[in-house]
């Protein structure tokens, strides 16, 4: 397919939106990074709710939504062409298993990667956020809660995939949505344990984003926007799990957790908060239970 002529941004930029509410500031930021032009939203189920919403924010010459509900639709040259022509791309919420089932290994997947490789701003909310990491919870057999994931990290509903996209900053990373309202700290750690165990990979990382909250990333720096009480959690492991086996509770020691709140900043390259002290907290899972953190820090279990 012939390449689209763009004045591409000099650096990659991403929006990770936790879900349940759109974050105006994040969309305005994407619009600014795009330089105007055409804002494209993609999803698998019929909805055009974003068209008027984004256009009313101003700054774009056009906004369009593409509903891609099958692999056949994802192979339509028109669809891939419209994605490649985007000046900003946003993946809406829904069910990430549909995105993987319908879009993976199709021109749609190639078109999204084409934009990413050329630094076109890309964002996602809820299921759209879930597919941005190198690793992902596929939800191909339905959802799973924290308790079940920690009690058995090889539960049949704990389904993982990888490399739907390869985005700058997200190597070895799995993302998690609705972090606070659905109490997903433990679930994310179970995902990380499986990734580490299955790949003999000790440097896995996780990013959890609260509902109504967004993380904006550019030039190595990430900032949090959205509801004042919302936070983003950066989790890193210091080795393989102690116990990560089928039908056995998980044990996983010495996970480092950094909570980004307010107007704090985070360096994606060094994986550390900027201008902050005492920002790293230790958390372990023992026999399928999260160990209590210091009283100064509360985890959304």
Cα–Cα distance measured from residue 131 to residue 163, given in angstroms and rounded to the nearest whole number: 9
What pLDDT is stored for residue 238 in this prediction? 81
- Residue 68 near residue 102 (C-beta atoms within 8 A): yes
Q: Rounded mean pLDDT of 72-76? A: 98
Would you place residue 48 in the very low, low, confident or very high pLDDT band (cuts 50, 70, 90)?
Answer: confident
Q: Rounded mean pLDDT of 8-32? A: 94
Measured in degrees and rounded to the nearest 5, phi and psi for residue 25 equal -60, -35
Instruction: Give the tens place of pLDDT for each residue, 261-271.
Output: 999 999 999 99
- Residue 58 near residue 31 (C-beta atoms within 8 A): yes
Measured in degrees and rounded to the nearest 5, phi and psi for residue 217 equal -125, 130
Cα–Cα distance measured from residue 188 to residue 113, given in angstroms and rounded to the nearest whole number: 25
- Summary mean pLDDT of the chain: 92
Q: Which helix (H) or strand (E) holds 148?
A: helix 146-151
Quickly list DSSP for 174-226: EEE-STTTTT-HHHHHHHHHHHHHHHT-TT-EEEEE-TTEEEEEETTEEEEEE
DSSP annotation of 142 reads B
**Sign of the four-CA dihedral 238, 145, 261, 31:** positive
Residues of the chain with pLDDT > 70, as a percent, come to 93
What pLDDT is stored for residue 301 in this prediction? 58
């Amino acid at each position: 397919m012939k390449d689209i002529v763009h004045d591409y941004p000099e650096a990659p930029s991403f929006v990770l939106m936790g879900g349940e509410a759109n974050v105006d500031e994040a969309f305005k930021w994407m619009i600014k990074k795009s330089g105007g032009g055409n804002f494209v939203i993609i999803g698998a189920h019929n909805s055009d709710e974003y068209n008027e919403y984004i256009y009313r924010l101003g700054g774009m010459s056009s906004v369009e939504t593409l509903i891609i509900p099958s692999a056949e639709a994802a192979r339509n040259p028109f669809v891939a062409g419209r994605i490649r022509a985007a000046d900003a791309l946003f993946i809406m919420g829904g069910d990430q298993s549909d995105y993987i089932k319908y879009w993976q290994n199709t021109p749609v997947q190639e078109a999204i990667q084409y934009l990413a490789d050329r630094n076109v701003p890309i964002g996602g909310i809820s299921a759209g956020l879930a597919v941005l990491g190198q690793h992902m919870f596929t939800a191909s057999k339905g959802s799973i809660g924290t308790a079940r994931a920690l009690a058995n990290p090889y539960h049949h509903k704990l389904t993982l995939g990888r490399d739907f996209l390869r985005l700058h900053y997200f190597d070895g990373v799995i993302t998690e949505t609705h972090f606070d309202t659905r109490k997903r700290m433990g679930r994310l750690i179970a995902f990380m344990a499986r990734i580490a165990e299955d790949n003999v990979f000790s440097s896995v990382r996780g990013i959890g984003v609260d509902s109504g909250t967004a993380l904006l990333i550019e030039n190595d720096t990430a900032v949090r926007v959205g509801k004042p009480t919302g936070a983003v959690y950066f989790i890193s492991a210091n080795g393989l799990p102690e116990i990560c086996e089928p039908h056995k509770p998980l044990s996983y020691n010495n996970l480092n957790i950094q909570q980004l709140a307010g107007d704090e900043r985070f360096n994606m390259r060094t994986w550390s908060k900027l201008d902050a002290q005492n920002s790293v907290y230790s958390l372990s899972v023992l026999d399928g239970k999260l160990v209590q953190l210091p009283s100064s820090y509360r985890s959304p279990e």
